[in-house]
Amino acid sequence: MTSVNRKWYSGMATQEDWWAVYLGLFFFFLGLLSIAGVDLVGWAVYPTKWVFNVPEGGKGAISHAFYALGSKYSLTAKAFYKSLGWWSIIWTYVIFTIATCIGAASMKWDLKRFFIGWTIIYFLTIATWFIGHHAFFAANKTNWHQYGLNFALSLGGGASFILALIFGLIIGNFFKGFANYLSVAAKPEWYIKTAIVFLGVKVGYLPIKAAATSAKMGQQMASLTGHLFLAGAVATIVAYLIFWPGIYLIARKMFKLPRKTAAVLGSGISICGVSAAVATGGAVRAKPVVSIMVSALVVVWAVIELVVLPGFFTHIWPGTADPLVAGSAMGMAVKTDGADAAAGDLLDEFMRNKVTAETNGAVVWPEGVITTSAVMTKVWIDMFIGLWAFVLAMIWVYKIDRRPGETVQASEVWHRFPKFVLGYFAAWFIYLGIFFANGAGAPEGMHVLKAAKAGAVPVEKGFRKLFFMLTFMSLGIITDFSKLAEAKFGRMVWVYFVALFCFIIPVAIIIAYLFHHGMQIPNIAGQVAAG
Amino acid sequence: MDVVITHDGRNWVIENDRLRLASPTLDELDVELARLMRARGMVKKGQVAKVFMGFDNATIPEWMRPFAQHYFNRVVEVRG
């Protein structure tokens, strides 16, 4: 069956990009109903740290290792959600199984295989989440004693992400038949784009959360997210006007690659990975195999970056002195949305745990700000790929490979536009609108903000983290490192290696430093202590 | 006129229910298309026919489609 983007609405029912918007916004609106006193998302499952033997007066009972977020945040059904406990795993499974299966059916996937694959991946993810929250992995230095420990790895939620990736990679590289079966449901791009729509709720909710400390802090947070948005715009200039020409020249002059291959490779390495490689391949009318080869390289390198960079940025440079420089640099350096957002969230966990440990609990950063800085830069880059490909197409069609009679249509920009960012911005701006429309933290509007919080937290915390976990697991499952050795990429591998480590990452760090240095994340230690 | 364009690994291929053409380069494909349309009277002398070539995204491997679901569409004017 053919699949041609003929009309502006082509693909609205059949593309993952659109289904990330539908899924994300559906649960966003469900959460929004809390303002009207109806709590329909409190069943969201969430893990907490646990140990086998709880010390006297301590915490971490296995029976409480999973709970429904509504048991903490619901204003109208707290008792019911409290009764769910571990059953919240099943509630979350059933509801998301229905939602994702509707999407899979609409996208005409093999529904039976998707259902089985999704079920296996979901429960593997939950099991990994559980293991990753053992206090030995997750407990912070400031609360080791509460779990009866003298030492723990202090990785926070980052441990679960790392374990999910490791388990996924084991399946993807040692159980290839099983991985192939799961591949119908191992959809990191779908899961991460949905998670990014949930992240939009997070960005909009951050000022509401901070307003619980004081109206001033709420406004500071709104201002910080606004600054991150504006500063993130610089990434667009860096990716398109510094990285791309640089990589193109390296590929042409140093490695003597053909013009079209250099253009596609340049976009894949410097802009937004596979989507840029495909867009550019189409724009310069390259044979699809060029984009396919570049894309295969991008996917594997992105996972390598995901493994290396969060630890490097946290423990070597810039560390907790400049967390938003690190986040922004991540957004510029890591290609593919999945790997970038995942790396950003891992960085967020590492950095927050490190600063809390370093200051003995005197400094606590709200979760999600560093992730936001990583995603914001990436979203800016993503948004302009359609326009960039359109410009390249005009240069190629009208100048380089001039063909009389051929024209380039402006509709190409829309077909290449990443649709999930529409959901991200809608969720962000609506929650931000609720914050400002209700006094921006002033006492008279706090009852509305508290009601909004009850619906926002299960979405921005529970669903977002779950979908990040699903992304890590799925990324591992579909990443087969042997492809890198098998495929005859030749010089392209070396262009990628040289470009990434000698050009992209250093320049990303410098630019991120210039535009994000000194930005401070508000300290919510007082709020955490009170809560 | 609308046609679907794909690449079979060697040739660019365009087809609809009235024609099917294959050529290793887009330049040759356009020349072939113009020749065929004139020969079949699909474009009269002095007229200009617009041919919309929509890329079949099923050509892109399934694992790549979640990342990018559009390769290109092109419009070619054929003069009679």
What pLDDT is recorded for position A489?
A: 67
Q: Would you say A333 and A516 are in contact if contact means Cβ atoms under 8 Å apart?
A: no
Whether residue A531 is predicted with pLDDT greater than 60 in this model: the reply is: no
B68–A405: do the CB atoms touch at under 8 Å? Answer: no
Q: What is the mean pLDDT of residues A436-448?
A: 88
With cut-offs at 50, 70 and 90, classify the pLDDT of residue A484. Answer: low
What pLDDT is recorded for position A150?
A: 87
B56–A289: do the CB atoms touch at under 8 Å? Answer: no
Chain A neighbors of B69, CB-CB under 8 A: 5, 11, 15-17, 415
Whether residue A130 is predicted with pLDDT greater than 90 in this model: the reply is: yes
Identity of residue A382: D
What pLDDT is recorded for position A113?
A: 96
DSSP-derived secondary structure for A88-119:
HHHHHHHHHHHHHHHHHHHTT--HHHHHHHHH
What pLDDT is recorded for position A527?
A: 67
**A481 HSE (CA, 13 A, CB side):** 10
Among A484, A497, A478, smallest CA distance to A265 is for: A497
d(CA A105, CA A93): 17
CB atoms within 10 A of CB A530: 9
Residue of B30, B35, B71 best to disrupt the A interface, most CBs of A under 10 A: B71
Chain B neighbors of A11, CB-CB under 8 A: 69
A407–B30: do the CB atoms touch at under 8 Å? Answer: no
d(CA A480, CA A482): 5
Query: CB burial class (10 A; 0-12, 13-18, 19+) of residue A268?
Result: buried
Query: Of A15-24, A41-50, A103-112, A376-385, which range is least confident?
Result: A376-385
B75–A17: do the CB atoms touch at under 8 Å? Answer: no
A406–B77: do the CB atoms touch at under 8 Å? Answer: yes
Domain ranges of chain A: 16-522
Residues 411-430 (A) with a CB less than 8 A from some CB of B: 411-412, 415-416
With cut-offs at 50, 70 and 90, classify the pLDDT of residue A530. Answer: low
Work out how many domains chain B is built from and give that number: 1
What pLDDT is recorded for position A1?
A: 67
What pLDDT is recorded for position A69?
A: 96
pTM over 0.80: yes
Q: Would you say A340 and A375 are in contact if contact means Cβ atoms under 8 Å apart?
A: yes
A282–B65: do the CB atoms touch at under 8 Å? Answer: no
The residue with greater pLDDT, A286 or A212, is A286
d(CA A230, CA A237): 12
Place of tokens 């990018």: B68
Residue of A403, A420, A470, A480 best to disrupt the B interface, most CBs of B under 10 A: A403
Picking from B7, B56, B70, the nearest residue to A2 by CB comes out as: B56
* CA terminus-to-terminus distance, chain A: 56
Q: Would you say B55 and A283 are in contact if contact means Cβ atoms under 8 Å apart?
A: no
Task: List the Cα angle B22/B23/B27 in 5-degree steps.
Answer: 130
Three-class SS state of B46: coil
Helix pair A491-499, A288-315: axis angle to 10 deg:
30
What pLDDT is recorded for position A45?
A: 97
CB atoms within 10 A of CB A30: 18
B60–A292: do the CB atoms touch at under 8 Å? Answer: yes
Among A89, A192, A229, smallest CA distance to A465 is for: A192
Q: What is the pLDDT of residues A52-87, one digit of tens each?
A: 989 988 899 999 999 999 999 999 999 999 999 999
Among A300, A471, A454, A458, smallest CA distance to A375 is for: A471
Chain B neighbors of A393, CB-CB under 8 A: 72
Q: Among all residues of chain A, which has the CA nearest to that of B2?
A: A6
d(CA A452, CA A429): 14
Radius of gyration of chain A (CA): 23
Query: CB burial class (10 A; 0-12, 13-18, 19+) of residue A256?
Result: exposed
Residues 16-45 (A) with a CB less than 8 A from some CB of B: 16-17
Give the contacts of A377 (CB within 8 A, at least 6 positions apart).
A232, A234, A235, A327, A328, A330, A331, A332, A512
What pLDDT is recorded for position A506?
A: 92
With cut-offs at 50, 70 and 90, classify the pLDDT of residue A270. Answer: confident
Q: What is the pLDDT of residues B27-78, one digit of tens each?
A: 999 999 999 999 999 998 889 999 999 999 888 888 888 888 889 999 999 9
Residues paired with A407 in a beta bridge: B75
Residue of A1, A2, A21, A298 best to disrupt the B interface, most CBs of B under 10 A: A2
Residue of B28, B72, B75, B78 best to disrupt the A interface, most CBs of A under 10 A: B72
Q: What is the pLDDT of residues A344-382, one digit of tens each?
A: 999 999 999 999 999 998 999 998 999 999 999 989 988
Picking from B9, B56, B71, the nearest residue to A278 by CB comes out as: B71
Q: Would you say A454 and A431 are in contact if contact means Cβ atoms under 8 Å apart?
A: no
B70–A283: do the CB atoms touch at under 8 Å? Answer: no
What pLDDT is recorded for position A247?
A: 92
Chain A neighbors of B7, CB-CB under 8 A: 287-289
Peptide bond preceding A318 in cis form (omega within 30 of 0): yes
* Per-residue b or e along A457-486, where b marks 16 or more CB atoms closer than 10 Å to that residue's CB: bbbbbbbbbbbbbbbbbbbbbbbbeeebee
d(CA A355, CA A364): 7
CB atoms within 10 A of CB A346: 32
Q: What is the mean pLDDT of residues A253-272?
A: 90
Q: What is the mean pLDDT of residues A288-300?
A: 87
Query: CB burial class (10 A; 0-12, 13-18, 19+) of residue A231?
Result: buried
What pLDDT is recorded for position A528?
A: 60
Q: What is the mean pLDDT of residues A85-95?
A: 97
What pLDDT is recorded for position B25?
A: 92
Residues 85-144 (A) with a CB less than 8 A from some CB of B: none
Chain A neighbors of B9, CB-CB under 8 A: 289
The nearest CA of chain B is from the CA of A286 a distance in Å of 10
B73–A412: do the CB atoms touch at under 8 Å? Answer: yes
Three-class SS state of A131: helix
Picking from A278, A415, A478, the nearest residue to B63 by CB comes out as: A478
Q: Would you say A270 and A243 are in contact if contact means Cβ atoms under 8 Å apart?
A: yes
With cut-offs at 50, 70 and 90, classify the pLDDT of residue A115. Answer: very high
Distance of CA A263 to the CA centre of its chain: 27
B54–A336: do the CB atoms touch at under 8 Å? Answer: no
Picking from A15, A273, A401, the nearest residue to B69 by CB comes out as: A15
Q: What is the pLDDT of residues A227-254, one digit of tens each?
A: 999 988 888 888 889 999 999 999 999 9
**A524 HSE (CA, 13 A, CB side):** 22
User: Could you tell me where the DSSP H helices lie in chain B?
Assistant: 26-39
Chain B neighbors of A402, CB-CB under 8 A: none
The nearest CA of chain B is from the CA of A466 a distance in Å of 20
Whether residue A123 is predicted with pLDDT greater than 70 in this model: the reply is: yes
Across chain A, mean pLDDT equals 90
* Per-residue b or e along B45-74, where b marks 16 or more CB atoms closer than 10 Å to that residue's CB: eeeebebbbbbbbebbeebbbbbbbbbbbb
User: Domain of B24?
Assistant: 2-79
Q: Among all residues of chain B, which has the CA nearest to that of A277?
A: B68
d(CA A147, CA A54): 6
